[in-house]
Structure 1
Amino acid sequence: MGSRLAEGWDANAGAWIEWSRRGLDSYSTHKLAFLPLIPSPGRLTVDVGAGEGRVSRELQARGHRVLAIDRSPTMTRSAATYPGQPVPAVVADAVHLPLPDAAADCAVAFMCLHDIDDVVPAIAEIGRILAPGGKLVLAIVHPLNSAGDFDRDAPQLPYVIRDAYTQPRHYATTRTRDGLSMTYHGIHRPLHTYTEALADAGLVIERLREHSSDDPDDKWYRIPLFMHIVASRPRQP
């Protein structure tokens, strides 16, 4: 399996830990729309692509029995040693989750599937560990967001998609705030890549929501930033 994206994120793990813990990303507002989609605590909630553990900590505080999983040893160690609120965390690839079939009644994949090279087998693997009635709650960069950008050289900032929306392509975006730089590594994919993978994994989409800025003066009020999906494994008849 390829590891191009994993290597990019692991190389930036230290910067990401500081970036996220300073609150320099969108999580503080994004979570207000995402967290209510997660079901009540059950037997086990698996946080796939948990990074430094921000979502895992939120869920643990809400009564979930959480297992955080990430491919990066640096990220995983950071989640497991967070001062005052460590979470159980293991190093593993999303396409080889260290759990038996039907072990979890909830899986969370917050802003990570577009950072995984082998997303189709990763979604299949998440489907494998979900028990009947279990739910996957995921957030991704909206495919319209990753497909194009605003043309800053033109009046009214038109949104331009220069390459084919349907063709996957890697990207790296560097952002600088408060004296810290962070490089995001991801891959643009059309929406049907995710929806077909969910269907092939035996999961049924229950909700699909698009998340944009709430500020009418923000350019991202016009184009959705993120997509949230809730999918479930049907119970046996």
Structure 2
Amino acid sequence: MAENKRGGSFYDAPQVAERYLGHRHSGVSSPNHVMEEPAFLEELGEVTGLRVLDLGCGDAAIGQVVLDAGCRSYLGLDGSAAMVEAGNSALYGTAGRVEMVDIEDFSAPPSSFDLIVSRLAFHYVEDIEPVLASCHECLSPGGRIIFTVVHPILTSHDPGVQGKRTSWVVDDYFLQGPRERQWMGGTVTWFHRTIEDYVALLTKSGFSLTSLSECAPREDRFNGDADELARRRRVPLFLLLAGMRA
């Protein structure tokens, strides 16, 4: 298992944050742009007047989106010093801010937030049950949680392939636990769970499941690149879940 057990520290390794942000914001070639982001924004809906918390916020890209859409406040938390710096730089001059806190250490008083989001961060957390319990506790009645993770098909197996893949292998799918892989020039640990595991953990924490999406590619985001669209239709890369606090 990788020496750094918490996800944020991975992004403070030399050049990792730079490589990751370059990849994530690379347009059509980024699966985030053509798959995860549109599914997330569709689920996000109306945020006017909401107090928003973003767990594992990275460079706080969604922060400016929700602030522009009229949310009351935005707080991003991340365990990476590089990401906290990038997030606060991006939010400079706005009502939003980013603080350095590991997801595992997060807690807040009851009814502190109306919406909690987390994009591609929970698969870095070994035990998300207490995290989801903390989310439930700090949300106002009727508050929502929306999170995305790397799809279990991908967390189940590391093919060790450089460049564009032509095949995907699923192995030890029903075995939960850490999976090391080579990614962004370093060794990272992702914690594998099945779709069923994620749903069970969400509902066990007191949330009503309101949405489940495998983030199919959106044709209008490919700028007419039919080959790339066909490639992204072959296998799911992301999983989105949303729930509501009673």
- Bin the TM-score by the shorter chain: 0.7 to 0.9
SS of corresponding position for 1:231 = strand
Contact 1:67–1:88 (Cα < 8 Å) also in 2: yes
Asked if 1:39 corresponds to 2:45, the answer is yes
Alignment of 1:46-65 (within 5 A): 46-64=53-71, 65=73
Contact 1:124–1:201 (Cα < 8 Å) also in 2: yes
SS of corresponding position for 2:104 = coil
Q: CA RMSD in A?
A: 2.9
| CA apart distance, 1:84 | 5.4
SS of corresponding position for 1:95 = helix
**Distance in structure 1 (CA, Å) of the matches to 2:237 and 2:40:** 13
TM-score norm. by structure 1 comes to 0.80
**Distance in structure 1 (CA, Å) of the matches to 2:78 and 2:14:** 11
Contact 1:46–1:107 (Cα < 8 Å) also in 2: yes
SS of corresponding position for 1:88 = strand
**Distance in structure 1 (CA, Å) of the matches to 2:67 and 2:91:** 14
| CA apart distance, 1:149 | 6.3
Asked if 1:228 corresponds to 2:240, the answer is yes
1:127-175 deviations in Å (ceiling 9; x for gaps): 11111100001111111222246798xxxx5543233433323222324
- Structure 1 segments unaligned to the other structure (5+ residues): 176-180
Q: Which residue of 1 aligns with 2:222?
A: none
> Could you tell me the percent identity over the aligned residues?
20
**Distance in structure 1 (CA, Å) of the matches to 2:135 and 2:149:** 15
1:110-142 deviations in Å (ceiling 9; x for gaps): 111101223221111111111110000111111
Selected match of 1:79 from 81, 87, 91: 87
Contact 1:138–1:229 (Cα < 8 Å) also in 2: yes
**Distance in structure 2 (CA, Å) of the matches to 1:126 and 1:13:** 32
TM-score norm. by structure 2 comes to 0.78
SS of corresponding position for 1:78 = helix
**Distance in structure 2 (CA, Å) of the matches to 1:151 and 1:164:** 17
1:53-99 deviations in Å (ceiling 9; x for gaps): 11222222222221111122331122112275663111222233252
- Structure 2 segments unaligned to the other structure (5+ residues): 220-227
How many residues are aligned here? 224
Selected match of 1:217 from 224, 227, 230: 230
Q: Which residue of 2 aligns with 1:11?
A: 12
Selected match of 1:189 from 193, 196, 208: 193
Selected match of 2:169 from 160, 164, 169: 160
Q: Residue 58 and residue 83 in structure 1: after superposition, are their counterparts in 2 closer, same or farther (change >3 A)?
A: closer
Contact 1:120–1:194 (Cα < 8 Å) also in 2: no
Higher RCO structure (Cα 8 Å, ≥6 apart):
2
Asked if 1:28 corresponds to 2:40, the answer is no
**Distance in structure 1 (CA, Å) of the matches to 2:136 and 2:18:** 28
Structure 1 residue ranges (4+ consecutive) displaced by more than 6 angstroms after TM superposition? 149-152
